[in-house]
Amino acid sequence: MTNEEMLTVQIEDSWKSVLQEEFRQPYFPLIKQFIIAQKKLGKTVYPPGPLIFNAFQLTPFDQVKVVIIGQDPYHGAGQAQGLCFSVPVGIKPPPSLVNIFKEMKIDLDIEPPGHGNLEHWAKQGVLLLNASLTVNAGEPNSHAACGWHRFTDAVIRIISEQKEGVVFLLWGRFAQRKEELIDTAKHYVLKSAHPSPFSAHLFWGCKHFSKANECLLKQGKEAVDWRLLRSL
């Protein structure tokens, strides 16, 4: 398999439409060149090529109603699946995700599901967006400067400009810096500490899951069913 084939991505049609100008920007091909160069250096890049745009594939632009912003993909083997905070079934949920599940229990009395796959959220209109869409194995933030941040900032701006009443969940200082890209007069922004073990004690009790649903119901939109199937 060639490097180009390894980088085959899937992205849903409504995103192709709203992002077409961004894909034409000079910086965008440089991201692919950077990833190919990393592979030539012998680096393993996560997630696998077909999953790089998984958040966009599972959550069409037309259906986005909640956005959760992460920093970059998990950098351990088998963890990254193109959805922030999520891991495939069979992979042990990382500490931040465990703490998210603890908040679900506090807020909505939802028991932890026994896995860390958040696809059920994504399919209901929750865009699980990492600021960087790729990372080197064992090297957190290793792709932060390759152009992904420019791309995902544009994604946030486009959501802000072209949609109304989206609920943005900004957990931690990194995500909260993205608030400047959001028109807070037409969208809801909920902020809290990050669910990492270092700040989870400040995250617990934020009740963002119930508050997000309140914001959606207020607009006549369908609430998110935050419960995850206990087996997939």
Active centre residues (catalytic): 72
Tokens of 230: 């206990």
Please state, in angstroms and rounded to a whole number, the distance separating the CA atoms of residues 76 and 18.
32
Pairing relation of β-strands 167-171 and 45-46? unpaired
Cβ distance 194 to 171 under 8 Å? Answer: yes
**3-state DSSP call for residue 143?**
coil
Task: Using the structure block, give the residue that is written with the tokens 């119930």.
Answer: 210
Cβ neighbours for 218, distance < 8 A, ≥ 6 positions apart: none
| DSSP, res 27 | H
